[in-house]
């Protein structure tokens, strides 16, 4: 009986110690923010910082799924995954914003970025679904009102051999001029 009581006290103490030593939501968010800031100010990718940001954002979403900043953390996680060329995981994470956070301000951007990634991976069916949903649910979004969503849908209708410039998601995110027009 004494051994059982001692074991319970030890296990309880270890649980308290683990909880006290585990990072808070603020600490985890800070790691993601640090990773994003490192990308903005450096010419190269500090993979250790970005991977720590990815791990921290994932931990935050697992440990604090109801945190009011979970949608923002999901957006940062998707961006960091994209930077590390984990495109499928990034696209799925952008779509998680759309599916899990119905009031999030990141939903339209999540649809646009998921669509770009999916198109770059030649998953045109899912990319098209993203753009169509964006047009349907966010008709006043800049990407819709500026015509980009409709243009991409029209462009995807053409067979790839008729494309004047092969579409690459990286060129769109990198600030490509986007001057190519689909053939008429």
Q: CA separation (Å) from 177 to 76, 165, 172, 174?
A: 25, 12, 8, 9
Q: Which residues of the chain have pLDDT under 50?
A: 4-5, 7-10, 12-20, 165, 167-184
Q: Which pLDDT score is estimated for 174?
A: 38
Where along the chain do its domains lie? Answer: 23-85, 108-184
Q: Counting runs of H as helices and runs of E as strands, what totals does the chain give?
A: 10, 0
Beta strands in 17-175 (DSSP E): none
Burial grade of 80 (CB within 10 A; 0-12, 13-18, 19 or more) = buried
Can you give the pTM of this predicted structure? 0.71
**Which phi and psi (to 5°) does residue 23 adopt?**
-70, 150
Collapse the DSSP code of 78 into the 3-class scheme (helix H, G, I; strand E, B; otherwise coil) and give the result.
helix
Q: Which pLDDT score is estimated for 163?
A: 55
Contact status, residue 32 vs residue 77, Cβ threshold 8 Å: yes
Question: What is the C-alpha separation between 27 and 60, in angstroms, rounded?
Answer: 9
Q: Which pLDDT score is estimated for 37?
A: 77
């Amino acid at each position: 009986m004494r051994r059982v009581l001692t074991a319970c006290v030890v296990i309880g103490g270890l649980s308290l110690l683990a909880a006290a030593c585990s990072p808070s939501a603020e600490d985890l968010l800070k790691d993601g923010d640090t990773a994003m800031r490192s990308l903005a100010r450096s010419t190269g990718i500090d993979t250790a910082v970005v991977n720590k940001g990815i791990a921290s954002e994932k931990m935050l979403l697992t440990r604090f799924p109801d945190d009011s900043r979970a949608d923002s953390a999901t957006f940062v996680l998707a961006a960091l995954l994209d930077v590390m060329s984990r495109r499928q995981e990034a696209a799925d994470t952008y779509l998680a914003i759309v599916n899990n956070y119905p009031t999030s301000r990141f939903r339209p951007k999540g649809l646009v970025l998921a669509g770009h990634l999916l198109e770059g991976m030649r998953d045109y069916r899912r990319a098209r679904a993203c753009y169509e949903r964006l047009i349907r649910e966010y008709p006043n979004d800049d990407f819709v009102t500026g015509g980009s969503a409709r243009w991409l849908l029209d462009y995807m209708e053409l067979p790839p051999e008729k494309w004047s410039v092969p579409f690459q998601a990286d060129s769109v995110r990198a600030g490509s001029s986007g001057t190519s027009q689909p053939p008429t």
